Amino acid sequence: MMDSRDCASAQARIRDEAAAWFTRLQEPEVSPEQQLRFQQWLAEDPQHRHEFQLLEALWAATDLVPRARLQALCATPPAKARRRPLLRFALAAGVATLALGLGLFSGLNQPVSYSAQFVTALGERRHVALPDGSQIDLNSRSHLQVRYARNQRLIKLVEGEALFNVEHDTDRPFVVAAGAGKVTVTGTRFDVRRDERQTRVAVEQGRVKVQGRDAAADDFIALTPGQGTHVDEHGKVAQAYAVNPEALTAWRSGKLVFNNASLAEVVAEVSRYREQPLRVASAAVGELRLTSVFKSDDTQALLKALPSILPVEVRTLADGSQEIFSR
């Protein structure tokens, strides 16, 4: 049986490691090797992810701290400039202490007002913990804005894709605005993807209400687990249809899952993970169907495999982009 002192020591060690990783990830440039080690550290123990998410949420809550107090925390003596990482570590700890002292994350005193925004770069995935306990996973090239008020939790998906795990709160609906559509829930788990011409919604748990941005309150499509819909650029919501949430959110584990998807859909998805876009040469090529699984961080493997799966070839154009054409 483990001694209570050993348990406390292990907990303190994990918190120190979480703070150290948080500090490293605040640097302007984080190498791929560091990102890989960080992901491995997260996967080692559920408590690792828990402690990191807690620190991330506390850090985001600095918007709730009085400006003068926050500036005092951030003040860095010039003579200590070379110890910047250590000071940033101390600042994170100071903000956490202050936030807890103010009761920002007490179940009896959740923040009424909160705002933040989160962005991911090419190939980056990010997990975000919000002050109310809700969690968001951001896909590659995504951007969202968060604004909590007394009677509503509003998220604006500016671009990209996000999986939302919403903490139940009947007094404050959770609303995701994306393009010409919006999704309203009180507590559930669902995925929203905003493309150039439409917004797609898929539900994994719970129940959501999908409607056009300017629709009347009673004009909506209700979705339950295993159902999805999409909203076009004019705000028209399609009837609910069956979806596979597990396949649609496989990007969280670095996979691209295609199940009888049109090549046009495949190209649009794969382009999200590439510096240079991928195109189909014609509408007929775009209508070809593909069923397969690939790694999101190795899209070239997909392009190499395509000619052996479909009657197509791939060529590189002068601007560096690649095009799929019929052979």
Per domain, the residue ranges of the chain are: 1-108, 110-252, 254-326
Q: How confident is the model at residue 139 (pLDDT cuts 50, 70, 90)?
A: very high
Q: Is the pLDDT of residue 77 over 70?
A: no
Other Cβ atoms less than 10 A from the Cβ of 317: the count is 11
CA-CA distances (angstroms) from residue 310 to 245, 262, 272, 289? 26, 12, 22, 8
Bridge partners of 229, per DSSP, are 201
Question: Can you tell me the distance from the alpha carbon of 298 to that of 111, in angstroms, rounded to the nearest whole number?
Answer: 41
Residue 231 scores a pLDDT above 90: yes
Confidence of residue 106 (pLDDT cuts 50, 70, 90): very low
- Annotate 62-91 with DSSP letters as a single string: GGGS-HHHHHHHH---GGGGGGHHHHHHHH
Q: What is the pLDDT of residues 171-226, one digit of tens each?
A: 889 999 999 999 999 889 999 999 888 999 999 999 999 999 889 988 999 999 99
d(CA 128, CA 195): 21
Per-residue pLDDT for 242 more than 50? yes
pLDDT at 85 over 70: no
Q: Does domain 110-252 have CATH number 3.40.50.300?
A: no
- The pLDDT of residue 104: 46
Q: Which residues pair with 118 in a beta bridge?
A: 144
Residues 177, 162 contacting (CB under 8 angstroms): no
Of 29-33, 116-120, 318-322, where does mean pLDDT reach its minimum?
A: 29-33
DSSP single-letter state for residue 253: G
* Cβ neighbours for 168, distance < 8 A, ≥ 6 positions apart: 186, 187
Class of domain 254-326: alpha beta
What are the E-state strand segments in 102-168? 114-119, 126-129, 135-138, 143-148, 153-165
The pTM assigned to this predicted structure is 0.65
**Mean of pLDDT values over 246-256:** 91
Strands 322-326 and 289-295, bridge-based pairing: unpaired
